[in-house]
Amino acid sequence: MRRVSRLALAGAATTSLALALTACGGTSTSASSEADGNQGLAIAYDVGGKGDQSFNDAAYAGLEQAEKEFGYETTDVEPTEGETDADKTQRLVSLAKQGYNPVVGVGYAYATAVKEAAEKYPDTTFGIVDDSTIEAENVADLVFSEEQASYLAGVAAAKSTKTNTVGFVGGVDIPLIHKFEAGFKQGVADTNPKVKVLSQYLTQTAEEGGFSSPDKGKTAAESQIEKKADVVYQAAGLSGQGVIEAAAANKVWAIGVDSDQYKQEALAKYKNHILTSATKDVAKAVYNLAKSVEDGKPETGIVRGDLKAGQVGLADSNPEFKNNTELQEAITTAKEKIISGEIKVKTS
């Protein structure tokens, strides 16, 4: 008897607990919100979050600009580790519920979440950075032609190397970063086929810290420099700081990514070794979306930032880079060819 009763107890406790919990309460979205009507742009970050000196920070720069210009309330929210799509959806829905508009998910990981949240809040404009798979009236897909900027970085690297060896350090082995590598390799090969490209990815998954571990970036760059690489291009988020540090320590060139890293305070110590940066103007894209909503004509569909639109490109804040006429000529020619379509840059 006792055996059965204890067994039943264990089972009943677990099931009844599960059922009892769901039996009560309305949904959090139907609860009253404290909207005061002055909410504007909201962004939700991807893994890495604020302070990565590149991708996420660029989105934040766009947010700041919008806040200043339109004088409304903005907010930015960070993700938790190991979260599911349901958590991301909850976050976006929560922002939309509070009256924020537009709501931007930074990073392709938000794709499913944006799709679901957009269905629940058809009057709110949603944006998603780095994803073009979501098609909805109220969703703007903010994507970039990273491979084009990377191609130019490849041209710059091939023109600057003396050892005929350059390096590429990618943060995480994912399709998005493959675009950077593919463009870079093609740019190098088209400029000088004799130049060898060493290529390395820091980790297989973002959770292992490929985008957030400067130490990993440093080790990878050091081993490439040891193999005679004298220009190192990184697409590795926060880990890229380690790459730049290693390049500066060994007095070789580093090429930055996403933001103009020559100008960044955190990297000021190493800036003389930052040749240029392959920029991706996430800030502008985010701002433009906010502006379009403010103007009453929200962007929708795929909004591509490419060389033509000036949303990707090479930064020229380093005078040594800017005043190198031979280099600049090569880059200008390549740029024109890409814009005219004469050069098709591969994405993988």
**Contact residues for another protein, defined by CB under 8 A:** 3, 7, 10-11, 13-15, 17-18, 21-22, 24-31, 75, 77-78, 80-87, 90-91, 94, 98, 108-109, 111-112, 130-133, 173-176, 204-208
Instruction: Please state, in angstroms and rounded to a whole number, the distance separating the CA atoms of residues 310 and 116.
Output: 31
- By beta-carbon proximity to another protein, the closer residue of 204 and 323 is 204
> To which H or E segment does residue 197 belong?
strand 196-203
For residue 265, how many other CB atoms are within 10 A of its CB?
8
Rounded distance between C-alpha atoms, residue 332 and residue 344, angstroms: 16
Q: Minimum distance from CB of 187 to another protein (Å)?
A: 21
Q: Please, which residue, 8 or 268, has the CB nearer to another protein?
A: 8
Enumerate the β-bridge partners of residue 258.
Answer: 279
Minimal distance, residue 91 CB to another protein, in Å: 6
- Least distance in angstroms from the C-beta of 111 to another protein: 6
Query: Which residue type is seen at 66?
Result: A
Which ranges of 209-311 does DSSP label H, i.e. alpha helix? 214-226, 240-249, 282-294
Is the CB of residue 39 less than 8 Å from the CB of residue 101? Answer: yes
Nearer of residues 89 and 165 to another protein, judged by Cβ: 89
CB of 85 to another protein, least distance (A): 6
Least separation, in Å, of the C-beta of 204 and another protein? 4
Minimum gap (Å) between residue 95 Cβ and another protein: 8
C-beta of residue 160 within 8 angstroms of C-beta of residue 327: yes
DSSP symbol at 80: P
Residue 93's identity, in one-letter code, is V
**Residue 202 — φ and ψ, nearest 5°?**
-75, -45
- Cβ at position 114, least distance to another protein in Å: 11
Kindly tell me which of 37 and 82 has the beta carbon lying closer to another protein. Answer: 82
- Residue 254 β-bridge partners: 232, 274
3-class secondary structure, 34: coil
Of 298, 251, 6, residue with least CA distance to 124? 298
Q: Which of 65, 57, 55 minimizes the C-alpha distance to 258?
A: 55
Residue with tokens 């991708």: 55
Taking the complex as a whole, how short is the minimal distance between the CB of residue 304 and another protein, in angstroms? 13
Closest to another protein by CB, 46 or 260: 46
Q: Which is nearer to another protein, 143 or 225 (CB)?
A: 143
Residue 39 or residue 186: which is nearer to another protein going by CB? 39
- Which CB atom, from 5 or from 272, has the smaller least distance to another protein? 5
Query: To the nearest whole angstrom, how small is the minimum distance from the Cβ of residue 46 to another protein?
Result: 10
Distance of CA 226 to the CA centre of its chain: 29
Nearer to another protein, 176 or 343 (CB): 176
Tokens encoding 235: 């697409």
Per-residue HEC secondary structure of 305-325 comes to ECCCCCCEEECCCCHHHHCCH
